[in-house]
């Protein structure tokens, strides 16, 4: 996803934090819990929460190396031999979730990327004891690529009333104030409102 932003294939991305290229503008967005996803009927479904040790005998289906999610998983499992059981890795989150739903293994992903799958009953979400692992999620934008008016409106919606508690900086309006617009916002666009359950605010790419 980050490479696609750098190569101007997409306008922006919402990703788990990694080390970024200097050509990217990075906006801290939120923190999200890393959870275990299993198929309905899996042996771990009887548990309310899981421990790292519970993964010892499981086939792990993981995000590709270098992704923010994969880095957090590697950190969480660094003192174990569990990563050696990973037999599939992919950058396609939907493919990973499909394999898990078919009973081919388990995966660890940010919980916001699996809400719809859990709601539909195709996957079961299990938190780790103590909510031990949190993923920092950022919005990344190519500094050299002008944003469309639609991008501006959507990002302003996502960032509305959000602030960074560490520096006391409010990000509302930050994207619009970058001055990198492809189109001039119209009066109609300025009045447009977005529903609170906007599905695009729950990206599956994490």
Among residues 158, 152, 154, 199, which one has the least CA distance to residue 175? 152
- 154-164 in b/e form (b: 16+ CB < 10 A) is bbbbbbeeeee
Of the given ranges (38-47, 59-68, 136-145, 163-172), which has the lowest mean pLDDT? 163-172
142 domain residue, yes or no: no
Which band of pLDDT confidence, cut at 50, 70 and 90, is reported for residue 196?
A: very low
77 domain residue, yes or no: yes
144 domain residue, yes or no: no
SS3 content of the chain, % helix, strand, coil (to 5): 35, 25, 40
109 domain residue, yes or no: yes
90 domain residue, yes or no: yes
What single-letter DSSP state applies at residue 200? G
- Which residues are paired to 110 by β-bridges? 34
Query: If DSSP codes are grouped into helix, strand and coil, which group holds residue 33?
Result: strand
Model confidence pLDDT, tens digit, residues 116-175: 999 999 999 998 886 667 888 889 999 888 888 888 888 888 887 565 544 334 455 555
106 domain residue, yes or no: yes
Model confidence pLDDT, tens digit, residues 69-104: 888 888 888 888 887 767 789 989 999 999 999 999
73 domain residue, yes or no: yes
CA distance 74 to 132: 14
Strands 134-142 and 12-16: antiparallel
91 domain residue, yes or no: yes
CB atoms within 10 A of CB 166: 7
> According to the model, what pLDDT value does residue 131 have?
64
- Domain count of the fold of the chain: 1
In 102-148, which ranges are continuous DSSP H helix?
Answer: 115-120
- What is the percentage of the chain residues whose pLDDT exceeds 70? 76
| Owning domain of residue 38 | 31-134
Mean pLDDT of 105-122: 90
Has residue 187 got a pLDDT over 60? Answer: no
What single-letter DSSP state applies at residue 187? H
CATH of the domain at 83: 3.40.190.10
């Amino acid at each position: 996803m980050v490479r696609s932003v750098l190569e101007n294939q997409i306008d922006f991305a919402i990703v788990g934090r990694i080390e970024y290229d200097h050509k990217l503008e990075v906006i801290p967005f939120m923190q999200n819990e890393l959870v275990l996803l299993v198929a309905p009927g899996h042996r771990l479904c009887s548990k309310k929460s899981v421990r790292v040790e519970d993964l010892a005998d499981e086939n792990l289906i993981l995000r590709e190396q270098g992704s923010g999610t994969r880095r957090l998983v590697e950190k969480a499992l660094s003192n174990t031999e569990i990563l050696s059981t990973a037999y599939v890795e992919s950058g396609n989150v939907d493919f990973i979730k499909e394999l898990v739903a078919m009973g081919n293994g388990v995966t660890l992903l940010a919980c916001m990327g699996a809400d719809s799958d859990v709601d539909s009953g195709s996957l079961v979400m299990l938190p780790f004891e103590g909510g031990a692992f949190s993923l920092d999620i950022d919005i990344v934008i190519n500094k050299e690529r002008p944003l469309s008016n639609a991008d501006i409106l959507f990002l302003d919606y996502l960032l509305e009333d959000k602030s960074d508690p560490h520096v006391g900086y409010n990000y509302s309006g930050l994207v619009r104030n970058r001055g990198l617009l492809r189109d001039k916002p119209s009066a109609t666009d300025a009045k447009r409102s977005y529903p609170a359950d906007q599905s695009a605010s729950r990206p599956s790419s994490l």
